[in-house]
């Protein structure tokens, strides 16, 4: 049996193509779901699957908004209707503003090629 020295053997290439096809099918099946993707290097990205084509998947990833977390929940304006507070105020009507943040979470699009993805997780169980 003679082996040729290829950078990626035919078996590895077939496995890689099969893995990419499987990831594409999973991403298409769970379109608009909030998921976690584990990369080949072990890092994890989470977001909503917006699009999945033959090359990769596009996630809507929540933007980190850590600089206002403390003040929105416990600090200035937390219950008094301040700029990012939870209290009743304009736009919500009487009694409807309590417990509803005035600022919505921002999402950014990010593209991931299938060859860099290891697996797909669901962060919540119902």
Residues 29-49: tens digit of each pLDDT? 999 999 999 999 999 999 999
Question: For residues 92 and 53, which has the higher predicted lDDT (pLDDT)?
Answer: 53
Picking from 8-17, 95-104, 117-126, which range would have the lowest pLDDT averaged per residue? 95-104
- Residue 63 pLDDT > 90, yes or no? no
Question: For residues 97 and 35, which has the higher predicted lDDT (pLDDT)?
Answer: 35
* β-pair type (44-52, 34-39): antiparallel
Among 2.30.30.100, 2.120.10.10, 3.40.50.10490, 3.40.50.170, what is the CATH number of 10-63+113-126? 2.30.30.100
Count of CB atoms within 10 A of residue 38's CB? 14
* pTM metric for this prediction: 0.61
Note every long-range contact of 58-63, with CB atoms under 8 Å and residues 24 or more positions apart, other chains counting: 58/109, 58/110, 58/111, 58/112, 59/109, 59/110, 59/112, 60/107, 60/108, 60/109, 61/107, 61/108, 61/109, 61/110, 62/105, 62/106, 62/107, 63/105, 63/106, 63/107, 63/108
């Amino acid at each position: 049996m003679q082996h040729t020295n290829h950078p990626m053997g035919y078996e590895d290439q077939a496995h890689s193509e099969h893995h990419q096809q499987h990831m594409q099918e999973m991403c298409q099946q769970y379109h608009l779901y909030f998921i976690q993707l584990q990369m080949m290097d072990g890092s994890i990205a989470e977001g909503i699957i917006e699009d999945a084509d033959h090359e990769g998947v596009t996630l809507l990833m929540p933007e980190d908004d850590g600089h206002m977390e403390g003040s929105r929940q416990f600090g200035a304006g937390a219950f008094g209707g301040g700029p990012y507070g939870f209290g009743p105020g304009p736009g919500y009507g009487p009694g409807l503003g309590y417990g509803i943040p005035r600022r919505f979470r921002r999402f950014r699009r990010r593209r991931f090629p299938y060859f860099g993805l290891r697996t797909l997780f669901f962060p919540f169980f119902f």
